[in-house]
Amino acid sequence: MTWIDIGALEDIPRRGARVLRTAQGCVAVFRTADDRVFALDDRCPHRGGPLSEGIVHGDAVTCPLHGLVIGLADGRARDAEGGKVETYPARIEGGRILIDAARLLPEGRAA
């Protein structure tokens, strides 16, 4: 695992998200009401909507474009077709957000 500090927990509002730009595309970093963090690809499996702009409720987010509900922990859509987005391990340490960037760094950069 390649843990990288990407910012302070306080930089993300509770029940909100911010975007992490990576060489592999944007990752949405969510903070729940009870201060857990999750990192998912910022692309809804339905039509590519930016999940980081959705309304966060419990441990799910509703896509802002057409309302698909995605579980933050497993990245799975909670509907019949059950599409899925990639998730990345994330944790909080001393008020900082760390993300496992093993799959996100540019080729050859991974520690």
Contact residues toward other proteins (CB under 8 A) are 4-7, 11-16, 18-23, 26-27, 29, 33, 47-50, 53-58, 62, 64-67, 69, 79-80, 101, 104-106, 109
Strand order across the 96-100 sheet? 3-8, 96-100, 90-93
Q: How far is the CB of 34 from other proteins (least distance, A)?
A: 8
Q: Which of residues 4 and 92 has its CB atom nearest to other proteins in the complex?
A: 4
List alpha helices for 40-80, DSSP H. none
Q: Which of residues 12 and 75 has its CB atom nearest to other proteins in the complex?
A: 12
